[in-house]
A and B are shown apart, each in its own frame.
Chain A
Amino acid sequence: MQKMQIAVNSAPAMADFEFPEYYSFPPFFTLQPVSATRQKQLALWRDLILKYHTTQKQNTLVLHECKLWKNEEIGRELVRENIRVICDDFVENGNGEWEDEGKTRLRILWKKPEELAGDLLAWATRSGFIGQVCTLYELSSGEDSEGASFQGADEELIRRALAILEDRGQVAIFKGDTSEEDGVKFF
């Protein structure tokens, strides 16, 4: 399979991203007029946005800066109103939230909070953190969470996942001096 390797130039630390093959399908950049096809197309865009941001460890999509909208290799680009349609669909589907009223910045929920809650619990079980306490900072940026799906995730998102676990009685959350130092105990 020919996969395009496109270097992302804005941040040197970013790894190359392997684009899915449909990213080179020219009509992918034209909003499809037929409903069934368009639904499929929007789902593919959701997938792409999500995969791109999770692998790049980016939490925010800035509408006018995002590189996904344009594929120079095939000379195709989304028009502005269609970027809006795709982002609105992304939010409606629960994959993201607008950070501002003007809808220029999109917070990407790498995973839905319920999914992340499952990941957190699985990780705690696997890494022997059941019965232990760790801080929120350790969860998102600590060595122990290296490679975990929530590593580097938006703090707000992690909090929501933890709140789900707290409701189920699977964690207890303690106030720390700063929000990052809030403690989490897994049961």
Chain B
Amino acid sequence: MAHRRRGVGVGKKKAANKSGPNTSSAAQALAKDLNEGDLEFVKRSLSSLETELTKFAEMHSDSIKTDPAFRSKFLKMCALLNIDPISSKQTLLGSALGIGDYYYEVAVKAAEVCMATRTKNGGVCSVEEVKRLLRKKGSSMTKVSTDDILLSISKLGVLGGGFRIVTLEKKPYVVSVPTVLSSDHTDVLTVAQSDETGVKGCFSISDIVNVKGWTEERAERAVETLVREGMAWVDEGGAGVKSKPQFWVWSVFFQQNDEDEDEGE
């Protein structure tokens, strides 16, 4: 039907051309007609697309809920159409799918995990670790994906409370404390994440000075904050060893082990 309308518009254009000299008013009327026709067409296309998408979502709602790869593709498709099935329950799609509920659940459980591990890692937890712990919770969380967590945390961030994603050396971490991390702090964590110091998760003041070219005072100040916030643990090297202290980032150190585990599977 939309096509027919458009056809009418084009037909009129031809008719207008035939009917003699172009007047500006005729051209304006024509343009108006054309635009209305196009807008109508686009509106109808979009609404039928949304209807189709909703049908599709209903038909595949199980796959969307249980298959992370499928879900991710579906969400990308929605994003292309500028439809957000997650945060809005008002839309037909959102309510049909209940997918918002799913992400809400992921967000709440991810927040729980971050709280529970906060004293150990100071509120910096790798997304991989969050995923592992969520999956251990079982039931609806056994197939939760990295994308799901990233998306949920981004929705949590809107609420404040300091939840956010920080990327260190391409690895995403959930930060769940309101502590403001300056770029110096994330730089130090990045050094811990990198292999430049030989061991992942570990760094010393002199490592920071060497890698970043900072003064010792600047490195100490950044490290002090990380220790105070519980993000880094102090290692004096054990009994009898009088070496300069090293610092270890819990979440980075144990993420290393997670990778080993994945390779083993």
What is A's interface to B at a CB cutoff of 8 Å? Answer: 1-2, 21-22, 25-30, 32-34, 36-37, 39-41, 44, 75-80
Within 8 A of A (CB), among B208-265: 227-228, 230, 233-240, 245-248, 250, 253-254, 257, 260-261
Which of B122, B234, B239, B260 lies in contact with A27, CB distance below 8 A?
A: B234
The B interface is mostly helix, strand or loop, or mixed, namely mixed
Distance from A18 Cβ to chain B, minimum over Cβ atoms (Å): 14
Chain B minimum-CB-distance residue to A30: B236
B65 proximity list for chain A (CB < 8 A): none
Q: Which residues of B contact A2 (CB under 8 A)?
A: 257, 260-261
B258 (CB) vs chain A CBs: closest residue: A1
Q: Is the CB of A36 within 8 A of B248?
A: no
- Nearest-CB distance from B25 to chain A (Å)? 77
A26, B228: Cβ atoms under 8 Å? no
CB of A124 to closest CB in B, whole Å = 32
- Is the Cβ of A25 less than 8 Å from the Cβ of B253? yes
Residues of B within 8 A of A (CB): 119-120, 122, 202, 227-228, 230, 233-240, 245-248, 250, 253-254, 257, 260-261
- For the complex, give the distance between the alpha carbons of A75 and B120 in Å: 22
Taking a contact as CB atoms under 8 Å apart, the answer to whether A36 and B119 are in contact is yes
Q: Please pick, from B230, B246, B257, the residue contacting A36 in the complex, using a CB distance under 8 A.
A: B230
Cα A33 to Cα B235 with chains together (Å)? 10
- Taking A2-B260, A27-B247, A37-B122 as given, write out 14 further A-B residue pairs in contact, using a Cβ cutoff of 8 Å, ordered by the A residue number: A2-B257, A2-B261, A21-B254, A25-B253, A27-B234, A27-B235, A27-B248, A30-B238, A33-B234, A34-B227, A34-B230, A36-B230, A41-B233, A79-B239
How many A-B residue contacts, CB cutoff 8 Å? 69
Least distance between B76 CB and chain A CB atoms (Å): 33
**Contact present for A27 and B230 (CB under 8 Å):** no
Report the minimum CB–CB distance from A36 to chain B (whole Å): 5
Q: Sort A-B residue pairs by CB-CB distance and give the 6 closest, nearest first.
A: A27-B233, A27-B235, A40-B119, A76-B238, A77-B239, A77-B238
B248 to chain A, nearest CB (A): 5
The residues of B that contact A37 with a CB separation of less than 8 Å are: 119-120, 122, 230, 233
